[in-house]
Amino acid sequence: MRIDSVLTYLYERQLFNGTVLIGSKSKEVYKKAFGISDSRSGAMLSTTSPFNLASVSKQFYTMMVMMLREQGKLNYDDHVQKYLPIFPYPDITIRQLMNQTSGLPEYFDLVDFHRGLLDTLTNQSLLELLAQMKPSLEFKPGEKWQYCNTNYTTLASVIEKYRVFLLTVFSSFTLQNR
């Protein structure tokens, strides 16, 4: 298969490290892993190796908020404090989190300064750090657009309030890890 020779070529030149799955009509056409999963241990990737989704998850969070709105559980223009009372910014709405116009500071900067390298950061601990430190907003909510991961970690905390509802919805999808 041509894709295999292209990916092997890229991998051998250290231009690709990852897994590939190509499917057609519910059948696997191509599935292969290239490279290592952990640079410290040298463990090789497999087609079942877990990956941190990072920013890819933002589209799923947005869809969950849309589902919650459709069910009347929340509204886009609700203030975040309605769901997260310790959230220290009373004027920020769910819509502003979703469209990156909240003005929140990037949490990486806060964590680097206020936590140790080995500290585990959870959505709850980030929320508590924001409440404790109350860092200044980068701009007035709704005034500008700025990509910021803090928006979606905060949005995840709002979504967690409805985890039982969402688990019920998503359990009907029969997702499989093969």
Residues 79 and 157 in one domain: yes
CA distance linking residue 46 with residue 71, whole number of Å: 39
Where in the sequence numbering do the catalytic residues fall?
55
135 lies in a domain? Answer: yes
State the residue range of the domain holding 62. 55-171
Residues 16 and 76 in one domain: no
Are 34 and 46 in contact by the 8 Å Cβ rule? The answer is no
The amino acid at 164:
V
Residues 41 and 61 in one domain: no
* Domain count along the chain: 2
Residues 35 and 105 in one domain: no
Assess whether pLDDT exceeds 50 at residue 118.
no
Residues 65 and 145 in one domain: yes
Residues 102 and 132 in one domain: yes
Return the top range by mean pLDDT from 43-52, 60-69, 105-114, 138-147.
Answer: 138-147
pTM tops 0.85, yes or no: no
Whole-number pLDDT of residue 105? 95
| Mean pLDDT to the nearest integer, 16-37 | 92
Assess whether pLDDT exceeds 90 at residue 42.
no
| Mean pLDDT to the nearest integer, 92-110 | 94
Residues 144 and 116 in one domain: yes
3-state secondary structure of 9: helix
Percent of the chain with pLDDT over 90: 64
List the structure tokens of 160: 């967690």
Q: State the average pLDDT for the chain.
A: 89
Residues 103 and 167 in one domain: yes
Instruction: Tell me how far CA of residue 132 lies from CA of 56, 99, 105, in angstroms.
Output: 29, 25, 14
Are 153 and 112 in contact by the 8 Å Cβ rule? The answer is no
22 lies in a domain? Answer: yes
Which pLDDT band holds residue 116 (cuts at 50, 70, 90)?
Answer: low
Residues 139 and 83 in one domain: yes
